[in-house]
Amino acid sequence: MRITRVLHTLAITLTVACASVPTRGPTAERYDVLITNARIVDGTGNPWYRGSVGTVGDRIAYVGPSVPGLTAKRVIDAAGQVVAPGFIDMLGHSEFAILRGPHAISKITQGITSEITGEVSSAWPNVALGRQPNPRYPWRSLGEYFAFLEKNGTAINLGTYVGTSSVREAVMGDATRHPTDAEMRQMGALIDSAMRDGAIGVGTGLIYLPSTFFSTDELIALTKYATPYKGGYAAHIRSEGTRLLDAIRETIQIAAGAGTWAEIRHIKSRSLEQMQQAVALIDSARRAGIDITADQYPYIASGTGLQAMLNTWVQEGGDDSLVKRLRDPAVRARLKQELGADSAQGIRTAARTMVNEVVADSLKQYQGKFLTEIGQMRGENAYDAAFDILVGDSARTSAIYFSFNEEALRYVMRQPWVSVGQDAGAVSPDSTGKWRERGHPRGFGTFPRILGRYVRQDSVITLEFAIRKMTSLAAQRVGINDRGLLKPGMFADITVFDPNTIIDNSTFENPSQIATGVSYVLVNGVPVIDGGQVTAALPGRALRGPGYRPH
């Protein structure tokens, strides 16, 4: 797929799918948009049926049989296609990216209409306590961020957790110690403020600084500030390798201790046996009354910074301190011993690690190559090559880690409590039509990959089961009760796709490839994909959690 034209007036047009050309019916007062002759998959998990979906304004007004006499201002003939609720991305990173590229092309071309962000950090707090915000990001509360977002305009709806790294940095800066009681109260006050402004809950990433310094008891204490607002706890857990089960137990403990629900981010495992044990552990907790769920993306490789392969001690103090330490031969010797013994995560080794994106031009030749290959190119140990790249790139290098198991991925995909989160921010081309970054293929392909490969090609799950994961299950988890189903009165977030052609096209070598098969996407009743083309519309809204208290 390719961009056919990029208009500076924001009328960005992009061919994304082979879809039926919309036909216009007679003008009528009843429906604004009527989608007819469709296979309706309503998000409940129930079997599909043939029918029509009608909208009035920003709401769904009709779902049912295609009976004679239904008319609308705009009629879309969806013969041969599926009509489903708009997909909800349970793990995005678009809080700032969507301000730069509000059309969110990498999202809407997958059928995504809503995103939940705030995994590690969040849009607010965005400044240290007592300091003035950056003029580019002038909000002083989460409520002001939501207002700024809606004023700026966006193609998708956006909700967010409040990130533990953000509240910690606002109160403690880059300190590597445990917080004092007073600092815990200050962080709690920030969480309380965010929850009243509509945050979904508390989000954390426990392999990332500075959140990694929080103890289990401290995370329980902070999450308790979200509990009165029906907010939950969502975590990139402390280990996805050898200590996966311990990390899941900690998450269960936090949910129980805080008296709320928990979500495990992008659950994955090195082996089928380990994943079976993880699922059994979660099922046991659920039977005991602990409301714990998870989300996943359909790839066996993860993506994050190259420095994430290193233990916490060498990352303390930020990128400058890391680079300084990596110049020390004694530090390198210790790191090579740790990495060689596979004692850190058990998943991020040189043979499994591909350098994905570098900033320094002198290092561009290493993009898309594994550390073992780079070591051979440079005539040095593969880990020394990684250290040299981090030093030369000021620790800005990203990496892909091919560390996980396909059978484990399929096993957990079959679990009824697993939704879908692609772990990538929205990407749109700039005014030249070029994509802004090299990322992970999940950013362009997650939802079509599940529908094309795991539903149609491999029959791992059914179409109805997959759509439920992508819609009502996600909405239920984060307390958004007016989206995620095709039902009269719900917001008109709707995705239309061809079940026979939908597929991802993004690869690790060329990740910025638009998926095939999505023909129409409506957000709050307004088409953002129309007949396979991206429109200029920006109808997205802020998604506020159930604890929202209007001021």
The per-residue pLDDT for range 111-121, each reduced to its tens digit, is 999 999 999 99
Higher-pLDDT residue of 148, 315: 148
Burial of 317 (0-12, 13-18, 19+ CB in 10 A): middle
Residue 214 lies inside a defined structural domain of this protein: no
Beta partners for residue 303, in sequence order: 400
The per-residue pLDDT for range 13-31, each reduced to its tens digit, is 444 443 333 333 333 458 9
Residue 219 lies inside a defined structural domain of this protein: no
Closest C-alpha among 535, 528, 436, 517 to residue 16? 517
Residue 53 lies inside a defined structural domain of this protein: yes
Residue 465 lies inside a defined structural domain of this protein: no
* Residue 510: strand, helix, or coil: coil
Higher-pLDDT residue of 551, 377: 377
pTM as predicted? 0.92
**Longest Cα–Cα distance in the chain:** 79
Beta partners for residue 232, in sequence order: 201
Closest C-alpha among 309, 250, 308 to residue 278? 250
Phi/psi of residue 358, each to 5°? -120, 160
| 492 Cα distance to chain centroid | 22
Residue 284 lies inside a defined structural domain of this protein: no
User: What confidence category does residue 343 fall into, taking pLDDT thresholds of 50, 70 and 90?
Assistant: very low
Instruction: Find the mean pLDDT for residues 241-252.
Output: 96
> Which domain-ending residue is among 358, 373, 402?
402
Quote the pLDDT of residue 316: 86
> Regarding beta strands 353-357 and 112-117, do their DSSP bridges make them parallel or antiparallel, or are they unpaired?
unpaired
User: What confidence category does residue 339 fall into, taking pLDDT thresholds of 50, 70 and 90?
Assistant: confident
CATH code assigned at 30: 2.30.40.10
Quote the pLDDT of residue 3: 41
Domain count, the chain: 2
Quote the pLDDT of residue 169: 95
* Residue 118: strand, helix, or coil: coil
Phi/psi of residue 197, each to 5°? -85, 0
pLDDT over threshold 80, residue 430: no
Residue 524 lies inside a defined structural domain of this protein: yes
Distance in angstroms (rounded) separating the CA atoms of residues 176 and 245: 26
Instruction: Find the mean pLDDT for residues 58-80.
Output: 94
Core vs surface per residue 379-410: b (16+ CB within 10 A) or e:
eebbbbbbbbbbebbebbbbbbbbbbbeebbb
* Residue 440: strand, helix, or coil: coil
DSSP 512: -
Choose the weakest-confidence range: 148-157, 243-252, 278-287, 315-324. Answer: 315-324
Q: Which residue shows structure tokens 């917001």?
A: 491
Residue 379 lies inside a defined structural domain of this protein: yes
pLDDT over threshold 60, residue 9: no
User: Angle at CA 463, nearest 5°, toward 458 and 465?
Assistant: 105
Quote the pLDDT of residue 379: 95
Quote the pLDDT of residue 317: 84
Quote the pLDDT of residue 127: 86
> Which domain-ending residue is among 402, 437, 466?
402
Quote the pLDDT of residue 6: 36
Distance in angstroms (rounded) separating the CA atoms of residues 402 and 386: 16
pLDDT over threshold 70, residue 170: yes
Choose the weakest-confidence range: 167-171, 248-252, 333-337, 498-502. Answer: 333-337
Q: Do residues 485 and 472 lie in contact, with contact meaning Cβ atoms separated by under 8 Å?
A: yes
Instruction: Find the mean pLDDT for residues 382-404.
Output: 93
Distance in angstroms (rounded) separating the CA atoms of residues 437 and 458: 31
Residue 92 lies inside a defined structural domain of this protein: no
The per-residue pLDDT for range 273-285, each reduced to its tens digit, is 999 999 999 999 9
pLDDT over threshold 50, residue 141: yes
Residues in the chain: 551
Tell me: do 488 and 398 sit in the same domain: no
Distance in angstroms (rounded) separating the CA atoms of residues 496 and 473: 19
> Which domain-ending residue is among 386, 402, 418?
402
User: What confidence category does residue 436 fall into, taking pLDDT thresholds of 50, 70 and 90?
Assistant: low
Instruction: Find the mean pLDDT for residues 446-461.
Output: 98
The per-residue pLDDT for range 476-534, each reduced to its tens digit, is 999 999 999 999 999 999 999 999 999 999 999 889 999 999 999 999 999 999 999 99
Residues 6+ apart with CB under 8 A from 131: none
- What is the span of the domain harbouring residue 514? 3-85+484-502+509-534
Q: What is the mean pLDDT of the chain?
A: 91
Radius of gyration in angstroms for the set of CA atoms belonging to the chain, rounded to a whole number: 23
Quote the pLDDT of residue 40: 98
